[in-house]
C-alpha cells in the first residue's frame, strides 16, 4: 500500500497546498505514519514509510520518489515512442516526450537524453538547496514530476519539500525513540 500526494509543481500547486511552505500533506502523512507505526507488527506494508526508514538507516531504496539512487525507468508507448516516465505529464504538456522511438533510436541513444540521464546522476541533478540539505540522502529531492518550474525545469526541490522534511524528521525521531527504549529495556533485563 502507499499514500500518494496529488501531482503538482511549483507553478501549479496541488489541491490542498496553499503555499510551498505549508505542511498540510506532511501533517496528514505523520498522522497516518503514527497510526501505522503503533499498529501491532504483521501490519500491511506501506511503501513510503518503509522506504523512508530504509534510507534513514543507510539502506538503498526501491522507489524513485526517495533517495539518490539512479532511476532506471522509462516508458515505451504503444506507438513505439520512448518517453520519460508517465508521471512527468503532470508537470506540463508533452513533458514526457523525448522525440525518440524504437524504429529510429537505440536504448543507448535514449539513455543519453537529458530527461533520462538527469535521473541517473544522483546529486548532480538536484537543486543546490537539496544538495545542501541534511535530508538529501533520504528525500533525494523528492519525486521528479513534483520538482518542475518553468524557470528551472526539474532542477528544484519537490513542491512537497516542507512536508517531507517534517515527515522524515518525525519518522526518524519515532524510530530512534523506539530503538533506544528497546535497547535500554534489553540492557536492564540483561543486568537482572
Contact 143/64 with Cβ under 8 angstroms?
yes
Contact assessment for residue 123 and residue 136, using Cβ atoms and an 8 Å cutoff: yes
Domain boundaries of the chain, sorted by first residue: 8-12+16-69+125-180, 71-120
Quote the percentage of the chain above a pLDDT of 90: 55
Q: Percentage of the chain with pLDDT > 70?
A: 93
| Confidence bin at 190 (pLDDT 50/70/90) | low
The answer to whether 127 and 152 are in contact (CB under 8 A) is yes
Spell out the residues 6+ positions from residue 37 whose beta carbon is closer than 8 angstroms to its own: 49, 174
Are 157 and 42 contacting, i.e. CB atoms less than 8 angstroms apart? no
The predicted model scores a pTM of: 0.84
The predicted-structure confidence for 33-62, as pLDDT tens digits, reads as follows: 999 999 886 678 999 999 999 999 998 888
pLDDT per position as a tens digit, 61-115: 888 788 888 777 778 899 999 988 777 877 777 888 889 999 999 988 988 888 7
Question: 130: Cβ–Cβ under 8 A, 6 or more apart, which residues?
Answer: 136, 139, 140, 141, 157
Maximum separation of any 2 CA atoms in the chain, in Å: 73
| Parallel, antiparallel or unpaired: strands 97-101 and 81-83 | antiparallel
Per-residue model confidence (pLDDT) at position 144: 86
Q: Whole-angstrom Cα distance, residue 120 to residue 129?
A: 19
Amino acid at each position: 500500500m502507499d499514500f500518494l500526494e496529488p501531482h503538482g509543481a511549483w507553478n501549479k500547486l496541488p489541491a490542498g497546498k496553499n503555499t510551498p511552505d505549508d505542511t498540510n500533506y506532511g501533517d496528514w502523512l505523520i498522522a497516518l505514519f503514527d497510526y501505522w507505526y503503533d499498529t501491532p507488527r504483521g501490519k500491511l506494508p506501506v511503501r513510503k514509510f518503509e522506504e523512508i526508514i530504509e534510507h534513514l538507516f543507510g539502506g538503498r531504496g526501491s522507489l524513485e520518489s526517495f533517495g539518490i539512487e539512479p532511476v532506471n525507468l522509462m516508458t515505451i508507448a504503444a506507438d513505439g515512442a520512448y518517453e520519460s516516465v508517465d508521471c512527468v505529464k503532470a508537470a506540463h504538456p508533452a513533458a514526457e516526450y523525448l522525440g525518440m522511438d524504437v524504429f529510429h533510436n537505440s536504448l543507448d541513444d535514449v539513455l543519453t537524453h537529458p530527461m533520462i540521464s538527469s535521473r541517473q546522476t544522483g546529486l548532480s541533478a538536484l537543486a543546490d538547496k537539496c544538495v545542501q540539505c541534511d535530508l538529501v540522502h533520504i528525500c533525494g529531492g523528492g519525486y521528479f514530476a513534483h520538482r518542475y518550474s518553468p524557470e528551472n525545469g526539474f532542477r528544484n526541490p519537490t513542491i512537497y519539500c516542507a512536508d517531507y522534511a517534517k515527515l522524515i524528521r518525525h519518522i526518524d525521531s519515532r524510530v530512534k525513540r523506539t530503538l533506544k527504549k528497546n535497547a535500554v529495556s534489553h540492557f536492564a533485563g540483561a543486568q537482572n
